[in-house]
Amino acid sequence: MEVPVYGVVREKEWLTPSIVRLRLSGDGLEGFTMVAATDAYVNVAIPPDGAPYAAPFDVQEVREAHPKPLWPARRRYTVRRWDDETRELLIDVVVHGDEGVAGPWAAGAAPGDVLVFEGPGGGYRPDRAADWHLLVGDESALPAIAASLEAVPEGAHTVARLVCDGPEHEIALDCPGDLDLEWLHRSGRAADATLLLDAVRRLDWPQGSVLAFVHGEATEIREIRRHLLADRGLDRSSMSCSPYWRREMTDEQWRAVKAAFVAEMESDVSSPDG
Ligand SMILES: Cc1cc2nc3c(=O)[nH]c(=O)nc-3n(C[C@H](O)[C@H](O)[C@H](O)COP(=O)(O)OP(=O)(O)OC[C@H]3O[C@@H](n4cnc5c(N)ncnc54)[C@H](O)[C@@H]3O)c2cc1C
């Protein structure tokens, strides 16, 4: 059996009415090796209610020993912070009503609960060579955006456009850069889906080279990406653009169609760099 990586919940804190922060530590994190990315993520494994096995477990062994309905659900969560000295891991989980697996699990988590995962992976980090930084996203991208804002070079011009449900859903953000931050608030209407796109369209575009990080709901991200490529002239190498989740689809449904969606998204705007 492979040694599973897992964290024991030490503390749970509601950052906003819909984001719960879990502080994890323990022997299961001994083998955890952080990557140098501010969008680092882990693949968590959450067993269904009544599963005949207990955490910590080996995901592969569980899959070999039990029928599919008993397999743990897989979800991705950003490493909001990893402390190499205390070996503590923070993850911030969006609780979007009673729906889903991970949201309700995090909402109900208590000290002593165990979270099994694999990882981390990840690839983006604010690049010192960029003249300015653009970060756009919703609550699911907030952990990566918050970690990225903390990592921009001192004084670097940084533009962040973030969407949430209202002022009580905003969180404090630290940034050593020259930060232009705007929170956008959903109103419960169809126009919510273009709040981020419209905010990016309205930007008075700064001079110089930009590195963009745009993550969140799939259809919203796709439109923003199209705008950045087609109207703002960005090339693909200067953006990290990924659909984290898809409205009206569970993560299982989304993963089944994600590769095709991303392939279509990639072909949205033809460009010499492919
Ligand atoms: C690399 C990566 C990093 C991620 N990091 C984080 C993170 O740090 N924190 C975080 O909260 N999420 C993060 N996500 C997104 C998260 O994995 C998905 O939102 C996931 O679907 C949530 O699982 P669930 O079990 O709660 O809901 P699911 O069972 O997947 O979905 C149930 C229903 O809820 C809807 N739904 C799912 N997510 C949201 C949402 N954010 N807001 C509103 N409705 C939603 C679905 O469309 C579906 O209708 C990340 C995704 C990726 C790919």
| Mean pLDDT value across residues 212-217 | 98
**pLDDT exceeds cutoff 60 at 156:** yes
As a whole number of angstroms, the distance between CA 25 and CA 186 comes to 35
**pLDDT exceeds cutoff 60 at 174:** yes
CA–centroid distance, residue 140 to ligand 1 (Å): 7
- Indicate which residue's Cα is closest to atom 7 of ligand 1: 77
Place of tokens 């993963």: 255
**pLDDT exceeds cutoff 70 at 2:** no
Report the residue among 39, 89, 94, 171 best suited for mutation to probe ligand 1: largest number of ligand atoms under 8 A from its CB.
Answer: 94
Domains and CATH numbers, the chain: 8-121 (2.40.30.10), 132-265 (3.40.50.80)
Q: Which residues have any ligand 1 atom within 6 Å of their CB?
A: 41, 75-78, 92-94, 96, 99-103, 139-140, 143, 244-251
State both tokens at 239.
């953006």
Q: Of ligand 1's atoms, which has the minimum distance to the CA of residue 143?
A: 8
**pLDDT exceeds cutoff 60 at 1:** no
- CB burial class (10 A; 0-12, 13-18, 19+) of residue 259? exposed
Tell me the pLDDT of the chain averaged across its residues: 95
As a whole number of angstroms, the distance between CA 158 and CA 175 comes to 9
As a whole number of angstroms, the distance between CA 82 and CA 154 comes to 21
**pLDDT exceeds cutoff 60 at 272:** no
